[in-house]
Amino acid sequence: MTRPGVLSPDARAAALAAMTGSAGEPELDVLVVGGGVVGTGVALDAVTRGLSTGLLEQRDLASGTSSRSSKLIHGGLRYLEMLDFALVREALQERGLLLTRLAPHLVRPVPFLYPLTHPVWERGYVGSGLALYDGMALVGSAGMGLPRHRHLTRRTVSRIAPDFRTDTITGAIQYYDAQVDDARLVMTIARTAARHGAHVATRMRVTGFLREGERVVGVIARDLERGTEHRIRAKTVVNAAGVWTDDIQEMVGGRGALHVQASKGIHLVVPRDRIRSESGFIVRTEKSVLFVIPWGRHWIIGTTDTPWTYDLAHPAASRADIEYVLDHVNAILREPLGHEDVEGVYAGLRPLLSGESEPTSKISREHTVVTPVPGLVMIAGGKLTTYRVMARDAVDAAVHSLRTTTDMHVQESITDKVRLLGAEGFEIRSNQRVLLARRSGLHVARIDHLLRRYGGLIDELLDLIADRRPLGAPLEGAEDYLAAEVVYAVTHEGARHLDDVLARRTRISIETFDRGVSAAPGVARLMAAELRWDDAETERQVEWYLHRVAAERASQTMTTDAEADEARRRVDDLV
């Protein structure tokens, strides 16, 4: 029997058996299609209300938009300027919940400087906006969880951020938001849902819907790893497929209830020592805003906001995208960054609700839930920060659908009280960090790294290292991570392929100049021992990853989106 909350290979097999009925279980109450932050959030919300729940994802957890964001948990200052007070207030309340209750081990404060270029009036204008921002954050049960904003002189800005150009500014205002490893958040939500009884299976592609008359009563799904087809019955299906929403809608004979437009955003990752600053920055651009975000021993710089009409699975950053970001960040730096300073590049697609001929930077980030046919709920739009609210609304719609065919009584959402795995015990283990270092033989900095990634689950990593001492060694080619983290990713976190570990369970693919190429063979060998790969499969995984990196690098030399897409699509998914 598999342990609850463990996404191991055996757990996947057990989940499929349960969902297909071969384990003797009845049809599901709710089946979720999509393993991003919204889909996993829906699974957690549904299962904690007492509904039998399954989740299918065609690739890996967070393999799409949910691993390629700005990694910010924030209210959204520019939405405040657009007078979207309801969206900002909702997002700030969710930020407080994540920081203080639901995931304090994953979500942490991050400071930003908002530079001022006009004397007097701009300081009052921006300052009043940030006062409102802080005030909205205080409303609700979670509270603010962050320091308030403060006004800075130009001299103070120079001290905090020596590499920031101050010749064109009059000062700045420092304020706080929060950040998270987005892929890690999604995986943790999925594990938490599984811990409470949800069935989770990745590499399962939905190819059709089961119907009884007009009503959707389940899906037909193909196991991409085994090549088998499965019929999974459910009283209600929730589609949380993000930018694939239109495709799912067509599959069911869609009535055009939702139209999602994909907007591409790209980010650059550079070493922390390339920009001397104790704080991140946010500056206006002609289209949107540019963030320079502290990220461990790195900076994340972005983003763009442009329409994308090509391959949804593998959005590609062009040379023009990269130069756009470099040009804008270099306008505020004393020492300009060049292409040679860029460690990593990633591109993601935002699923924006469309219906207007507007630029994608203007289209709504708010979400919408619809029921285009009985038995099918669709949700689209929204943002990372408000995933829990989106999930709640989707399950509310699913419950309404259930009540039309059953007399089932379902409880209200309780996910504002359900702590994610690792949150419990995080504060205690943080206080014991020196003791844990002494007992384990690891440096305190290593313990801090593990605490930020696993929280109270750090004991499981340390037990693994105690049992298998070589796993306490850093990974060759990616010394920020330990070998134990690779093994744990396979045995507990649902990693099934090499890029699952290099791109999402860790962020090696964007945090090293070689994009994880030198780390790949060692990581593959560690995975092979757990997944029973033979030498040929291990070599296949490594070769595919190297080809993927080469295709991404080639796409990033292309001028146009069309050329970048063509270069990236030369390497398809492994399964």
> For the segment 191-240, what is each residue's pLDDT rounded down to a tens digit?
999 999 999 999 999 999 999 999 999 999 999 999 999 999 999 999 99
> For the segment 377-430, what is each residue's pLDDT rounded down to a tens digit?
999 988 999 999 999 999 999 999 998 888 889 999 999 999 999 999 999 999
- CB burial class (10 A; 0-12, 13-18, 19+) of residue 424? middle
Which of 478, 471, 482, 477 has its CA nearest to residue 446? Answer: 482
Q: What is the DSSP string of 102-114?
A: I-TTT-EEEEEEE
> For the segment 133-167, what is each residue's pLDDT rounded down to a tens digit?
888 888 766 666 799 999 999 999 999 999 999 99
Q: How confident is the model at residue 250 (pLDDT cuts 50, 70, 90)?
A: confident
Distance CA 390, CA 184 (A): 19
Which of 223, 193, 244 has its CA nearest to residue 496? Answer: 223
Backbone angles phi, psi at 331, to 5 degrees: -65, -20
Answer yes or no: is pLDDT of 362 > 50. no
